[in-house]
């Protein structure tokens, strides 16, 4: 009986991954999600004109999943952006990229890009939901927001219920706003 219980727990715990970079399913063109994310905002924009550079969080998981979408030409973190600004001798025009004004200056003076970020919404001291936000740094206007609730008790916080559904919502947004993406 003890072996059966241990086996059941191992299967249960291994069923949902956490921050595992996976390729798109070749049949569906999406990530293996167990649910769909809620789309809060999706503004129509010609994404093909803005796909040359995406500013992202400095996380291997985010970089891996967005790379596996095979849409954006280049991904760059804030640290990498700072290095490129210094190398281009633009520090007088862009002294910092640590805030929204600095990111706006970078988009205007270095290179046009889109800005992807992850934000947690809190209720008291607890994170209640997580959002993926895509922003046009030229105007600092959000163009896409998707969200999933964080269920610590029943579903857990994992790839299949949180991260992959939001990446899938982003893929759907790209397909709706790109003439070149398959």
Tens-place pLDDT, residues 149-182: 876 655 655 667 788 899 999 999 999 999 999 7
pLDDT digits 0-9 by tens, 39-78:
999 999 999 999 999 999 988 999 999 999 999 999 999 9
pTM listed for this prediction: 0.85
SS (H, E, C) 24-87: CCCCCCCCCCCCCCEEEEECCCCHHHHCCCEEECCCHHHHHHHHCCCCCCCEEEHHHHHHHHHH
């Amino acid at each position: 009986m003890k072996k059966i219980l241990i086996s059941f727990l191992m299967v249960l715990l291994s069923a949902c991954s956490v921050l595992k970079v996976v390729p798109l399913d070749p049949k569906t063109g999406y990530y293996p999600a167990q649910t769909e994310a809620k789309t809060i905002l999706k503004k129509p924009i010609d994404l093909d004109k803005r796909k040359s550079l995406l500013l992202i969080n400095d996380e291997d998981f985010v970089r891996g999943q967005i790379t596996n979408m095979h849409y954006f030409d280049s991904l760059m973190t804030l640290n990498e952006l700072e290095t490129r600004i210094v190398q281009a001798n633009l520090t007088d025009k862009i002294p910092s990229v640590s805030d929204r004004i600095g990111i706006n200056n970078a988009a205007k003076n270095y290179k046009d890009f889109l800005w992807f970020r992850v934000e947690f919404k809190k209720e008291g001291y607890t994170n209640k939901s997580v959002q993926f936000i895509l922003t046009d740094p030229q105007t600092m206007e959000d163009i896409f927001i998707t969200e999933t609730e964080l269920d610590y008790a029943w579903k857990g916080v994992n790839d299949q219920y949180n991260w992959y559904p939001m990446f899938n919502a982003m893929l759907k947004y790209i397909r709706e706003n790109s003439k070149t993406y398959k």
